[in-house]
Amino acid sequence: MKGMVYLVGAGPGDYRLITMKGVACLRQADVVVYDRLADERILQWAPAAAERIYVGKASSHHTMKQEDISALLVEKAQEGKTVVRLKGGDPFVFGRGGEEGMLLAQHGLPFEVVPGVTSAIAVPAYAGIPVTHRAVATSFAVVTGHEDPTKGASNMRWDKLATGVDTLVFLMGIANLPKITQKLMENGRGADTPAAVIRWGTKPEQRVLVTTVGQASADVEKAGLKPPAIFIVGDVVKLRPELRWFDRLSQRPLFGRRVLVTRARSQASQLTEDLERLGAEVVEVPAIRLAAPSDGYAAIDAAIASLMDYQWLVFTSANGVAAFFERLAAAGRDARALGYAQVAAIGTATAAKLREYGIRADVVPAEFRAEGVVAALKGKLPPHARVLLPRAEVAREALPEGLRALGATVDVAPVYRTEAAEADGAALAAEVAAGAYDAVTFTSSSTVKNLVHILGSSAPLAQVKTACIGPVTAKTAQSLGITPSAVAETYTIAGLTEAVAALFKEPPAEA
């Protein structure tokens, strides 16, 4: 049985620029063969069981030779597997996708090409430099800055190229920049022609150096810019001050900042997206992972069997909601089983999660913590009310104690527990202590405790700004020797994002 190979363009760096068809191919992959320039978060769309093979190539350092990569695709396809060859940018724009496709064709193996957003256009766009612009540039050329060294003589027609096109975009050309600029000037391109070098374009660590053809080599050496970067030449570079958007601090105040997100990986996406929208480079190092309660689900399953006995259900987190409804489904029941019970939710995120299951919370206290629920339910509980509290295995006792003080009978049923996630603690501690991060976020007490456990102590966090989602989390941080730099005024992901943004009023050193 023959397999299938998809030659997929992963886009220029920002993982969200992959096409919908590229994602669809990844979702059915048995094997993913991927490059250095493809943001590894793209791999999240591949099945967990898919084999992942890294074949990245950097300047003067190849993990695997191109002919071996092509042979690998043939081998995996001949095994009957669905293979995604994930390539930075577009497979047919200096991506050597043609070579891979030709070898597959020679072996009678089916393949498809899924075009990607090429860095030749996207990277200048993220720098605020259009490759064409009315009355400025009506033509552009994409040129390799690194010709095949096995060809012998160059077939670059510098006499035509230098002045025959308005905008020139050189890919992979930083190492050869002195030669490129020399050839351009020798063939008529003025030394004062505007130019720009863009490193890690479309990514939060993007850096743009505006220069001229004559000064480019010296400026790049002085700035210490290394690959991956593109070199763009032409009057369109002068449009950057007006069209700059991606790294404009007035609309993306966290650009150039690196933020460590410590939520469980399954929860981190919304916080990551919110921070990235403000320009931050986000590194997800989950401090916790969710697991079944230590003693299993006996308590919650027993409570579900007698749901009609409860007048109130109180949910303290979105995790608790999801875990509760998983057990409800396991019992062959759905939201109708709640009967006439009323529902309280701590926080808007918890209330939103309930709505996914068709439940609208009767009470969402203004203060998103246990004390707020107790205050909100005062006067609302019937005499001798019975309350079910599905929650984390380890949590503060303020809520059940407060409800009991109101005369209620409270059944606490653990539906999940948090435990420290696996991470290279020594390496992470060294990075944090060395100032690799501008801020660390904490979304719960468990993320604080488990990050400190991973790091070995709170000492590495002494020099980094920390932001907590609320006062309970902040109190836990303080108990472990961490002085929070910011505490969200609204105890939500949106509130935490605002708190992080408020920490940085001055631009980073390189912005």
Do 274 and 493 contact (CB within 8 A), yes or no? Answer: yes
Task: Give the C-alpha separation, 104 to 110, whole Å.
Answer: 7
Do 172 and 165 contact (CB within 8 A), yes or no? Answer: no
Q: Read off φ and ψ for residue 6, nearest 5 degrees.
A: -110, 120
Of 94, 93, 88, 69, nearest to 5 by C-alpha is: 69
Task: Give the C-alpha separation, 219 to 214, whole Å.
Answer: 10
Task: Dig out the tokens for 490 from the structure.
Answer: 């609204």
Do 182 and 210 contact (CB within 8 A), yes or no? Answer: no
- Positive/negative CA dihedral, 39, 44, 45, 50: positive
64 an active-site residue? no
Of 416, 154, 439, 102, nearest to 288 by C-alpha is: 416
Region for 236 from its dihedrals, namely left if φ exceeds 0, alpha if ψ lies in -120 to 50, beta otherwise = alpha
One of 57, 183, 380, 475 is an active-site residue; which one? Answer: 57
- CB-count burial class (<10 Å; 0-12, 13-18, 19+) for 506: exposed
- CB-count burial class (<10 Å; 0-12, 13-18, 19+) for 414: buried
The residue behind tokens 């350092």 is 61
The residue behind tokens 């979702």 is 27
One of 81, 87, 90, 172 is an active-site residue; which one? Answer: 172
Of 30, 37, 501, 494, nearest to 256 by C-alpha is: 501
172 an active-site residue? yes
Sheet of 288-291: strands edge to edge? 288-291, 409-420, 386-392, 312-315, 342-345
Of 397, 399, 442, 391, nearest to 418 by C-alpha is: 391
Task: Dig out the tokens for 460 from the structure.
Answer: 């590495």
- Positive/negative CA dihedral, 101, 131, 24, 228: positive
> Among the residues of 167-250, which ranges form H helices?
177-186, 216-223, 240-243
The kind and range of the H/E element at 496 are: helix 493-502
57 an active-site residue? yes
Task: Give the C-alpha separation, 142 to 150, whole Å.
Answer: 21
One of 14, 30, 35, 247 is an active-site residue; which one? Answer: 35
| Residues catalogued as catalytic | 35, 57, 172
